[in-house]
Amino acid sequence: MDTITILFLIFLSSLLSFPFIIKQHKPLSKPKLPPGSMGWPYIGETFQLYSQPPNIFFSSKQKRYGEIFKTHILGCPCVMLASPEAARFVLVTHSHLFKPTYPKSKEKLIGSSALFFHQGDYHTRIRKLVQTSLSPESIKKLIPDIETQVISSLESWVSIGQVINAFHEMKKFSFNIGILSVFGNLENNYREQLKENYSIIEKGYNSFPTRIPGTAYSKALLARQRIQEIISEIVCKRKEQIKKDLLGHLLNYKNEKGETLSDEEIADNIIGVLFAAQDTTASVLTWILKYLHDDQKLLEAIKTEQMAVYEANDGGKMPLTWSQTKNMPLTHRVILESLRMSSIISFTFREAVVDVIYKGYLIPKGWKVMPLFRNIHHNPEFYINPQSFDPSRFEVSPKPNTFMPFGNGVHSCPGNELAKLNMLILIHHLVTKFRWEVVGTESGVQYSPFPIPLQGLPIRFWRIQ
């Protein structure tokens, strides 16, 4: 027996005489799922979600389980994330681990080639086109047309002479601005056809997804096909023209191989932009009307700021300028606080493409992941008295990743500057030339599916004499 073998046997016997050394080497424990309840088999906690305001469902879960918890809703196992760090992890620093996800029924109504269903090279290329068409350099040229639309809408609300549903009217206004940003000054017959069919799609979007003829979803699919045909007709007329609206950018695009976008890709992305632009902007505008109506002192301060601009423009005879819209600090803070308070986009859906470990918890591949923007926006750690409307809180910038009304990362809303411009222009003309009154004393929130004031905020407008 050689020396090396003898030494090895001596070493082995020493290990066997001290068995506690072996016992110390325990296998590594597997990461566990976040705390929380998965509810009933198959249906999960969907009933609990819909039997109460969603805000209560999510906030009660956070209070019980902390800033990361699991549940099972809408047929999917989900992990909810309610901290700024977690939202950044999913949407920014590790976004490649989480893909955008939507129910297939909704994807069919918008179009599978739409920007927000994708990631990677295709998403990057299309997003760049959308961002270019909605950049400050582009949208500042829209100010005269937006003003025309604002004044026309306000005059029509006054001329009705009776109570109107503010949210419904704001949807019409937002849709017209969306059409303007996509097509420029579109012919009236096309605009009306698009509006009529889009309204049918809206009614089917949140309905039960069955193709049985006569159902809301079936009608929506037919309307979706008609919209694509209308857009194709517009495209045929526009192919020889060079314009810098969104349609122009989509039509003129060529990749490194010289390939252009198909008519289907163009239609899907136009419908996607119109869909993203309408309800969200309309909801925030409706809340702004309510918040200002409920705080007359704040309303007078806004009027003072806007009257200075009005007088500088020769009593409103001259159009607003881009620099003027960028110099309305109090009005801008009101918009930011309205976005925080209302949190129209309460959360966003992602799906884990691999098993992900976050803060020691396992997020399994295929599970939905939902950063909860509203929970973050209403967290007293970041916003003192979060349930009170206080624009002064935006006199200083919020802490990083605590204010995400337009999302965050590569899938954040590319039209946020246009949305804010619409709000600034509407508020300017509203407070300098008109008054409004909320009808009824009943207050509350309803979901359609975005949060809006109860009954869409019944309201009456009149012109200042």
CB 446 within 8 A of CB 168: no
The structure tokens 């004499």 sit at 465
| 78 labelled ligand-binding | no
CA distances to 104, 200, 234, 286 from 206, in Å: 12, 11, 28, 21
Do 94 and 356 contact (CB within 8 A), yes or no? yes
Q: Which two tokens stand for residue 36?
A: 């929380």
Q: Residue 285: which residues within 8 A CB-CB, separation 6 or more?
A: 170, 173, 174, 422, 423, 426
Q: Which residue has the tokens 């739409």?
A: 114
Report the SS3 class of residue 386.
Answer: coil
Tokens of 208: 């039960």
Q: Is 391 helix (H, G, I), strand (E, B) or coil?
A: helix
Query: In the 3-class helix/strand/coil scheme, how is 178-218 assigned residue by residue?
Result: HHHHHHCCCCHHHHHHHHHHHHHHHHHHCCCCCCCCCCHHH
Q: Residue 224's closest CA among 238, 237, 239, 209?
A: 209
Q: Which residues of 21-51 are buried (b: 16+ CB within 10 A; e: fewer)?
A: eeeeeeeeeebeebebeebeeeebbbebbee
Q: How far apart are CA 465 and CA 456, in angstroms?
A: 27
Token reading at 328: 């309305």
Binding residues, as ranges, are: 413
Binding residues for heme, as ranges, are: 413
